[in-house]
């Protein structure tokens, strides 16, 4: 018999109040999506700590200097993985040899590589080289195709799914840049309070912008914010219909097509919430969330039921999560610089629900 954790009554009261305020605020925006006032709550069963640990095992463990890994970027072919560091530096690992790549050189001169992200097609590496510039490097990482210069501090940037555009957050606004020419073709002047994370929707029609004040969804055709919420670590579903994120001790999924919300109660696997991260597998089957020194896998095909908890070899608080392009591996980066790659076979998933 499964043990069901009953959601805390105080949480329901606080969450209900928050949703009422959110809906009232959204109704003031003419272009905002219509959010259903009563979200569906899912109390999560607490699985045995051994569930799926014999199948989902660490594939590789890569230890680096004691420096938190703030984000992870996979190469398109899955042979390389880039770990961005808290001290504004990054390491590129060759997964075939488990060796670090040498520091990047441009025209035989070392560059100050602060943060890096591969384009989805794998042909270009975008490297933040100072607070005000991004180098776009070709596939051999030895020459710059273009240099993007700004007059304000760059807070985050993201590639579009077709690798044609970059969204760059600077000084409370988002600049949309043509990667082939480095020209700015549009600017979103939203007065965003420190855009910490910017994510293109898969179809490139919207942007999820995470700030100190919360999450905003910007619609490019309407040129307006269509949704906002107090969600952390937002992530798009691969089909672009949903946005998921953390709010307190819950995982929240919002359907941006019909406005329905699902709130999943997270079991108390740790007394310290820490950095709450969310990743969605590219095949759309699994949501992964990080909570201190554990990872929870959720079945995105069956009402976000809980698949299992991973904690083996995790030696400190998790700061980042990222799936490989083929959804076969999940990478987790910890505060002590440890990068763990987990195998995610399809056999952990039950058959799709027929209800």
Q: Which residues are CB-contacts of 227 (< 8 A; sequence separation ≥ 6)?
A: 26, 32, 33, 35, 215, 216, 217, 243, 254, 256
Determine the pLDDT at residue 308: 82
What does the pLDDT average to over 137-152?
86
**Lowest-confidence pick of 48-57, 69-78, 174-183, 252-261:** 48-57
What does the pLDDT average to over 80-85?
93
**Is the CB of residue 158 less than 8 Å from the CB of residue 117?**
yes
What whole-number distance in Å separates Cα of residue 244 and Cα of residue 48? 25
Q: Which CATH number fits the domain that encloses residue 218?
A: 2.130.10.10
Range of the domain at 184: 9-348
Identify the CA nearest to 217 among candidates 342, 70, 35, 75: 35
Determine the pLDDT at residue 83: 94
Q: Which residues are CB-contacts of 260 (< 8 A; sequence separation ≥ 6)?
A: 36, 39, 40, 254
What whole-number distance in Å separates Cα of residue 171 and Cα of residue 223? 19
Residues in the chain: 355
pLDDT at 166 over 50: yes
1 belongs to a structural domain: no
pLDDT at 257 over 80: yes
2 belongs to a structural domain: no
pLDDT digits (tens, 9 = 90+) for 189-206: 988 988 889 999 999 999
pLDDT at 99 over 80: yes
**Is the CB of residue 128 less than 8 Å from the CB of residue 169?**
no
What does the pLDDT average to over 128-149?
87
3 belongs to a structural domain: no
pLDDT at 43 over 90: no
Q: Is 11 exposed, middle or buried (0-12, 13-18, 19+ CB in 10 A)?
A: middle
Count of domains for the chain: 1
What does the pLDDT average to over 39-64?
67
208 belongs to a structural domain: yes
354 belongs to a structural domain: no
4 belongs to a structural domain: no
Q: How far is CA 322 from the centre of its chain?
A: 7
């Amino acid at each position: 018999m499964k043990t069901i954790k009953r959601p805390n009554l105080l949480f329901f009261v606080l969450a209900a109040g928050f949703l009422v305020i959110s809906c009232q605020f959204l109704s003031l925006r003419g272009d905002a999506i219509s959010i259903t006032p009563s979200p569906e709550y899912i109390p999560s069963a607490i699985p045995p700590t051994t569930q799926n640990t014999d199948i989902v095992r660490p594939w590789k463990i890569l230890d680096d200097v004691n420096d938190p890994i703030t984000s992870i970027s996979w190469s398109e072919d899955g042979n390389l993985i880039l770990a961005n560091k808290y001290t504004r530096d990054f390491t590129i690992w060759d997964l075939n040899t488990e060796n670090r790549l040498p520091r990047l050189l441009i025209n035989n001169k070392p560059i100050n590589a602060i943060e890096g992200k591969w384009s989805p097609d794998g042909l270009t590496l975008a490297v933040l080289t100072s607070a005000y510039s991004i180098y776009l490097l070709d596939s051999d990482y030895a020459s710059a195709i273009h240099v993007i210069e700004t007059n304000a501090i760059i807070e985050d940037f993201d590639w579009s799914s077709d690798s044609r555009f970059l969204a760059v957050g600077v000084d409370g606004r988002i600049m949309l840049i043509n990667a082939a020419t480095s020209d700015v073709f549009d600017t979103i002047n939203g007065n965003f309070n420190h855009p910490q994370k910017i994510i293109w929707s898969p179809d490139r029609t919207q942007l999820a912008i995470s700030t100190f004040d919360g999450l905003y969804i910007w619609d490019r055709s309407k040129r307006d914010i269509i949704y906002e919420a107090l969600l952390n670590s937002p992530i798009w579903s691969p089909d672009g219909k949903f946005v998921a994120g953390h709010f307190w001790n819950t995982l929240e999924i919002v359907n941006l097509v019909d406005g329905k919300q699902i709130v999943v109660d997270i079991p108390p696997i740790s007394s310290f919430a820490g950095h709450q991260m969310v990743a969605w597998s590219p095949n759309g089957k699994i949501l992964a969330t990080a909570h201190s020194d554990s990872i929870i896998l959720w079945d995105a095909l069956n009402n976000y039921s809980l698949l299992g908890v991973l904690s083996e070899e995790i030696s400190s608080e998790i700061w980042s999560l990222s799936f490989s392009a083929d959804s076969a591996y999940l990478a987790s980066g910890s505060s002590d610089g440890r990068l763990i790659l987990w195998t995610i076979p399809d056999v952990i998933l039950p058959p799709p629900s027929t209800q």
